[in-house]
Structure 1
Amino acid sequence: MTPSTTFLSCDWGTTAFRLRLVERETLKILAEESSKEGNAATAEAWQQAGQPAKQRVAFYLAVVRQHIQQLEAAVGTALAGVPVVISGMASSTIGMAELPYKPLPFAVDGSDLLTKTIAPTADFPHPVLLISGVQSDDDVMRGEEVQLVGCGFENTPEEQLFLHPGTHAKHVTVQNGQATALKTYMTGEFFALLSTKSILAASVEEGGKLAEGRHQQWFAQGVLESQQANLLHNAFLVRTNDLFRKNSKPENYFYLSGLLIGGECHELLGHLPAGIVLAGEPALVELYGAALRVLGIAHKCPVTTKTAQEVTLNGQWVVLKQHLGTLPTM
């Protein structure tokens, strides 16, 4: 295990931090650490510390260093010199160093993404590659652009779709080796608000899997009904389903999920891509895959599924390889 055979993958979101020691040749994870030290919490800690602005990067890297030390203990060897590639919100206003967004289009091989290199120091003996996000005229993303690169889209004139489910789901059009259009859907955030903060909270209950009981039936019903009526009306049916004992609270949970995911995917019916790469956390990929089948979309264009971990590691490594010759050293 040497700096030339491994890299450190840092996926640093708003609310979560994940660091992995990765073997370059196989992308095998050799050790992993995670915490709730997302960029929002780190930014708050930075403000409370009252340090000068020039110390901001070092403050954030100290968080990374603590986790690297835990990885070193796990693998039983020092990792000095191993490069760190960071994607996600670390390049945002709440991150270690704000970088401008790369305007669309961008190459799906990651060759023209905006990046920043940070030289190693005595306190942080690792070269750092920080990857910025992407913007259209009216939309943005940070982190998902690396996952798109990790999907390995072919250079073809046919329109492909990168679909990343999550708190803020992303739909990115890919054509001729370029990501050309971007739409964000607040599906996950709306679901969280409706299921925990609204009047519907008392009518839903998280638990169980899609394949269990009548969950799939109620999820499919939600997807289909999302195509037939306004969401603002359909959402109240979650309340009356419970009130009239039409279904259980866990079934209602999947019904509400179907309503929102079905609503998000509705536009695809009018503009089908030649293929869809559905990449994200397994539980969400399962739900979105089911919705695409219920709507008949999966029967009209191929849907390829990938995990968020797979495309994140692959995308980070693709971008890092392009910068290995120019990374600063001590």
Structure 2
Amino acid sequence: MDPTTTFLSCDWGTSSFRLRLVERETLKVLAEESSKEGNAATAELWKQAGQPAEQRVAFYLAIVQTHLKKLEEAVKTSLDGVPLVISGMASSTVGMLEVPYKPLPFATDGADLAVKILEATPDFKHVVVLISGVKSADDVMRGEEVQLVGCQFEHSAELQLFLHPGTHAKHVLVQQGQAVALKTYMTGEFFSLLSTKSILSASVVEGGKLADGDNRRWFEHGVRASQTANLLHNAFLVRTNDLFHKASKAKNYFYLSGLLIGSECNELQANIPAGITLAGELVLVELYRAALQALGIAGRCPVRTKTAEEVTLNGQFAVLQHHLHLLAHPEK
């Protein structure tokens, strides 16, 4: 495999691992491997192994190597020399090597993100570009900064919003080619806790899609309710909806989702950006787009959507391009 026309993309989160062989010119995925070997599980294995600290990077790369062998089997050729770009939690305290956060602001083309370059070795024949996260005075993100770069924001004096839904949703303001402000919302984690661990868990059931039956109507009902009453009161209505047979458990699931996403997006009402880019997993992107429509925000500014894979590959390749000269001349 020609190392100058391909690269290896590794998206290594807290609970998941994904490795792709990618064609540079088209960003087409040529082969892919994934597992549940996230950084949290790997950190626990590393702890149990009891190896010296200087072996930590090699321990983590050995896991990558097992997936690389599967990619080589899939494409039926050696991948030696193909550079590897890693983003996500691999640069955190539970990752292979902690790399300090890049303080805001940062360039939306990825030119000044914090990066650690690991040279190839006889045991791991790939140069590694390990991308770190970003911090503000009171907030942090790891992985989403690469996806923001992958959105390819226009250089504009107007404020634009990068919105990444997830366990910890990220709202990042972009202006003049710089990411300038960051807020994290624990929307996904709160939803998980309420729907599986609280008294509300008996009143909701997961399943179905937003477009099925009355699911969207109940989701929008939750979004609108989030604007008119306190979330802590509204959340209890999930139980009474069930008790009084006002909504099925499946509809309640979407109602609760609407309450939380609507609460997250409430602040946007008073500060409409010039544009919003929604980037992430398709199911979540659809929910957030529906919420922005229900709140009337989508009617007041353009909303574009992008997939998690698209922006991750775009962002990783952009960072790789900025460091290609260092990969060719590591001594400089």
* Alignment length (residue pairs): 330
Match of 1:13 in 2: 13
Question: What's the offset of the Cα at 1:325?
Answer: 1.5
Query: Is structure 2 residue 71 aligned with structure 1 residue 71?
Result: yes
Corresponding residue for residue 95 of structure 2:
95
Where do residues 1-330 of structure 1 align in structure 2 (5 Å cutoff)?
1-327=1-327
Q: Give the superposition deviation at 1:123.
A: 1.1
Query: Match of 2:295, as an amino acid?
Result: L
Runs of 5+ unmatched residues, structure 1: none
Displacement of 1:198 after TM fit? 0.5
Cα distance in 2 between the residues matched to 1:104 and 1:3: 33
**Secondary structure at 1:112 match in 2:** coil
Q: Determine helix, strand or coil for the equivalent of 2:268.
A: helix
Structure 2 unaligned spans of 5+: none
* Aligned-partner SS, 1:166: coil
Q: Deviations over 1:95-153 (max 9, x none)?
A: 00001100000000110101000011111100000000000000000000000000000
For residues 217 and 192 of structure 2, the distance between their equivalents in structure 1, rounded to whole angstroms, comes to 21
Query: What amino acid does structure 1 have at the position aligned with 2:197?
Result: K
Paired amino acid for 1:16? S
Deviation of the 1:324 alpha carbon: 1.2
Alpha-carbon distance in 2 for matches of 1:84, 1:329:
16
User: What is the root-mean-square deviation in Å for CA atoms of aligned residues?
Assistant: 0.9
What CA distance in whole angstroms lies between the structure 1 residues aligned with 2:238 and 2:266? 20
Q: Secondary structure at the match of 1:297?
A: coil
Per-residue CA deviations over 1:233-262 (Å, capped at 9, x if unaligned) read 000000000011111111000000000000
For 1:282 and 1:21, the matched residues in 2 are separated by 22
Moved over 2 A (4+): none
Classify the secondary structure of the residue corresponding to 2:170: strand
Tell me, in whole angstroms, the C-alpha distance in 2 between the residues paired with 1:98 and 1:329.
24
Q: Deviations over 1:280-315 (max 9, x none)?
A: 000000000000000000000000000010000000
- Amino acid in structure 2 at the alignment position of 1:66: T
Code of the residue aligned with 2:17 in structure 1: it is F
Question: Separation in 2 of the partners of 1:119 and 1:161?
Answer: 36
Contact 1:14 1:38 in 2 (8 A): yes
* Equivalent AA in structure 1 for residue 219 of structure 2: F
Q: How far apart, CA to CA, are the structure 1 residues paired with 2:327 and 2:87?
A: 16
After superposition, give the CA deviation of every residue in 1:183-211 in whole Å (9 maximum; x if it has no partner).
Answer: 00000000000000000111000101101
- Give secondary structure in 2 for the equivalent of 1:327: helix
CA contact (8 A) 1:120 1:126 kept: yes
Alpha-carbon shift at residue 21 of structure 1 (Å): 0.4
Flag the 1:38–1:307 CA change in 2: closer, same or farther, 3 A. Answer: same
Q: Distance in 2 between matches of 1:329 and 1:283?
A: 43
SS in 2 for 1:228: coil
Alpha-carbon offset, residue 329 of structure 1: 8.1
If the length of structure 2 is used for normalisation, what is the TM-score? 0.98
- Whole-Å Cα distance in 2 between the matches of residues 150 and 94 of structure 1? 25
Tell me the secondary structure at the aligned position of residue 93 of structure 2: coil
Q: Is the partner of 1:184 in helix, strand or coil?
A: strand
